[in-house]
Every structure is written in structure tokens, then in C-alpha cells.
Structure 1
Amino acid sequence: MAKATTTDSAYRVPPLTSVPAYAALAAKRAEMQDLQTASRRELRKLERELTETPMPALRAGVAALLGEATVEQSGVHERIADLKRTDRDATAALTVIDQRLREARSSASRVVCDEVRPEYARRVAALCRALEALAAERKAYDDLRGQLEAEDIAWSTLNPMSLGWLGNPVDGGHIGVFLKSAREAGYYGN
């Protein structure tokens, strides 16, 4: 499996195709799609040629008995039939491959997630530290606001900012919920 890359500016999650079993199915799917595209392209070309070619006045066998030249179209009809069979088979194969890809996605995702886990944990921990800093600043803001209100100061000229989106500060609000989830998942404070 290809390694995920870490740089100062960006981390790239490896694609599912970095897992060999999934990559093989994806390659087979691309191969079937290419086959289907090529057969449909040739089919359209042959059908267009057939419509542009005048119908022979006589069947090929009759023309041969009479010693007259005729345009032989049976080979074209056989090729068209072959191409239609190929298209049907490719469509059926794609259905099977798509089902196998859906089934392989779970195990391939687990492999990728196992590789990404350290970076994910690092980022969750960084968010937790930032949220703890935000919670401390919110407490300081709420303390200042409380002092203004305790002194009965009309402080609307300061353009009060609502922090309701952070949830209730008494129970930790949304920050507390996030921190609790991160701790329970083992990403922070363990």
C-alpha cells in the first residue's frame, strides 16, 4: 500500500486504490469500461455504414449464381452481433465488479483508516487544545460581561457578541461534548 504523505502544509489521505485488492478491482472495472466504450464506438460506426450503404438488389447467393457483383453485408451483420454480445457481457461484468467494489470498500477503508489514524489523532488533539483555549477565553469574556452587568452598565455601545453557538457554558456546551467524545475515542487526554 502506498504511504500517506505528511508535509508542513498538507496531508494526503491515500486513495482506496492504494489497497492492492481494491486497486485490482478498480483496474478491471476500467478495463471493462474501455472494452465497452470501444465496442459501442465500433458498433455505431458499423451501423452508420450499413445505413449509408445501399441494399443490394439481389441476395449474395443469387448474385453469385448470375455472375453479378454484390456488396457483401453478412460479415458486417455478424460483427454487429458480436459487438452487441460484447456490450451485454461487459455490462454484466461491470455489474459484478461494481458489487465486488462495494464489498471491498469496507475492508480497503479499514486499511486506509489504520494508516491515517495517527494523523487524524494529531489533528483531533490539536482541535481539543484549541477548543480548551477557546473555552478559557469564553470564560474570561463571560466574566467581563458579568462585571458589566453587575455594575448595571449599559454596554450595548460595545456591540455585545453572542456566544450561544458554543452552547451552555455551565455544562461545557458544544466544546465539552467534543472534548468528551475525543477522550472516549482515545484521541485526547489519555
Structure 2
Amino acid sequence: MSELLSSLNKESAELDNKIAAAPQVLHSAAVSALLGDPEDSAPHLRKRRRQVSGEIANAETALEVIAKRITAARDVASKTACDAIRGEYRRRLSAVCTAAKALEVTRSHHDELLNDLEREDINLGYLRPVRAHFVERVEYFLKEVREAGHNV
């Protein structure tokens, strides 16, 4: 369909150039046919240009319909696929949430140790501790999971 549209647009441009170059007459293609004018006379070219314009409009409409049909088919296929894997997705999401919660707890124990050492005025520079600040985002992740309707 795209190739057809490209071809029609090319023909349309060529017809526009030929019409502009042809001697202008005020009668129709039907009158030209009765007069025996050649096919490359302006009235015949204008008639073909109108036909090509209609074919372009039809091809563009067909492409729009095809795009809508593809979108509708993709939606049906996507729903079917998601329904088929929903259980596996929930299982894996649950595993991620369980690991995230465990990471939060583990990070809390890690931070407690460092806080205890700091309260004892121990110079942590010799330990070179690293704090897991990225874990703070776990809370937002778990909230997003809940808001998406997943009960994990």
C-alpha cells in the first residue's frame, strides 16, 4: 500500500508539471475526447490528476484503516498474552518484592551497626563503610506495586 501511495504521489507531481507546461484550454476532457485531442492535452491531464487525487485519498484512508486494525489486533494479542503469563508475572514480581523487603531489613541492620559505632565515637574512616542509599527507593517501588493493584 505504501508503494502504491508513493507511486501515485510521483504520478501526481508529474501530472502537475505536465499540466503547468501544457497550453491551457477551458473545455473538459469529454470535449477534448470529442475533438480528438491527444491524451497529453491539458483537459485529459487534469482528468487523470483528479483520478490520481481520488486514488491517493483512497490509499491514505486504507492505510489509516490498516493501522487501526493492526492496533486493535495488537491489543487483543497483548491482552491474550498478558492473561496467559499473569500468574508467572505475579510469581516473579512477588520474588522481587520479597527480595526488596529483605534488602531493606538487611540494610537497616547494616546501618544500625554503623550508627552504633558512631555513637561510640569510633572513627569509621578505618572501616571505610559504604551506605546503601539506593535502597531508599525500595519503598517507592513497593508503593508503586501496591498502587498497580498487585497484592504481593
TM-score (norm 1): 0.52
Aligned to 2:150: 185
Q: Which runs of 5+ in 2 are unaligned?
A: none
Whether the 8 Å contact between 2:15 and 2:49 is mirrored in structure 1 is: yes
Q: CA deviation at 1:92?
A: 4.2
Aligned to 2:114: 145
Q: 1:155 aligns with which of 120, 124, 144?
A: 124
Give me the whole-angstrom Cα distance separating, in 2, the residues matched to 1:73 and 1:36. 23
Give me the whole-angstrom Cα distance separating, in 2, the residues matched to 1:147 and 1:126. 31
* Partner secondary structure for residue 55 of structure 1: coil
1:125-178 deviation digits (Å, cap 9, x = unpaired): 3422431342243023122112212312243663653637616xxxx9446546
Q: Which runs of 5+ in 1 are unaligned?
A: 1-30
Change (3 A) 1:101 1:145: same
Change (3 A) 1:129 1:161: same
What root-mean-square deviation, in Å, do the aligned CA atoms of Structure 1 and Structure 2 show? 4.2
Give me the whole-angstrom Cα distance separating, in 1, the residues matched to 2:142 and 2:41. 81
Q: CA deviation at 1:39?
A: 1.8
The size of the alignment, in residue pairs, is: 144
| Residue 23 of structure 2 is aligned to residue 55 of structure 1 | yes
Q: 1:135 aligns with which of 104, 114, 119?
A: 104
Report 1:40-189 matches (<5 A): 40-51=9-20, 53-55=21-23, 72-94=41-63, 106-155=75-124, 158=128, 161=131, 163=133, 166=136, 173-174=139-140, 177=143, 181=146, 185-186=150-151, 188=152
* Partner secondary structure for residue 45 of structure 1: helix
Give me the whole-angstrom Cα distance separating, in 2, the residues matched to 1:166 and 1:111. 36
TM-score (norm 2): 0.61
Change (3 A) 1:99 1:176: closer
Give me the whole-angstrom Cα distance separating, in 2, the residues matched to 1:142 and 1:175. 21
* Partner secondary structure for residue 75 of structure 1: helix
Give me the whole-angstrom Cα distance separating, in 1, the residues matched to 2:133 and 2:9. 60
Identity, in percent, stands at: 24
Q: Which moved more, 1:78-87 or 1:33-42?
A: 33-42
Q: Point out which structure has higher relative CO (alpha carbons under 8 A, 6+ apart).
A: 1
